[in-house]
Amino acid sequence: MNQDALAQDELALLDALEQCTLPLASLDHATHVKLGWLYLRRDPLLVAIERFRTALRRYVTAHGHADRYHETITWAYLVIIQERMERLGRDRGWDAFASANPDLLAHGKQVLSAYYRPETLQSELARRVFVFPDRAG
């Protein structure tokens, strides 16, 4: 899918993240998931991961919260979103995706707890680099 297929408001959300103009209060967990979904609608997985992580790191740094960026959580959510998009159908819009995946939108790391031990996600290593899942789900 290319940018032409994204709605104007979706493109505006991506642009606000990339230009660091999205208000910090607007970047809640559900918005994080939607942004990941938007990148994955537009780009193949590895390209989406690189673009999203670059934009997100730049954004949190610009807002004085560089310490909040978490590499493993970012990668893991994008891979899960990608899988769920494929299962649902890539042509489905955000509302259909959100309705089919309320567990992804729930705040917290419940989705990741099936794949990661808490101490792994809390580690400095997992913050800095992607760490493979360490829990059999």
pLDDT in tens, 43-77: 999 999 999 999 999 999 999 999 999 999 999 99
Per-domain residue ranges for the chain?
Answer: 3-128
CA distance 104 to 63: 25
Report pLDDT for 97: 97
Count of residues for the chain? 137
pLDDT in tens, 6-48: 899 999 999 999 999 999 999 999 999 999 999 999 999 999 9
CA torsion through residues 111, 95, 89, 4, sign: negative
Contact 94, 114 (CB under 8 A): no
> 8-17 — which CB contacts under 8 Å span 24+ positions?
10/38, 10/94, 13/38, 14/38, 14/39, 14/42, 14/55, 17/55, 17/56, 17/59
The mean pLDDT of 85-107, rounded to a whole number, is: 94
* Closest residue by Cα to residue 93 from 34, 28, 14: 34
Q: Which residue has the tokens 């590499």?
A: 71
pTM of the model: 0.91
* Closest residue by Cα to residue 85 from 130, 38, 136, 131: 38
CA distance 84 to 37: 10
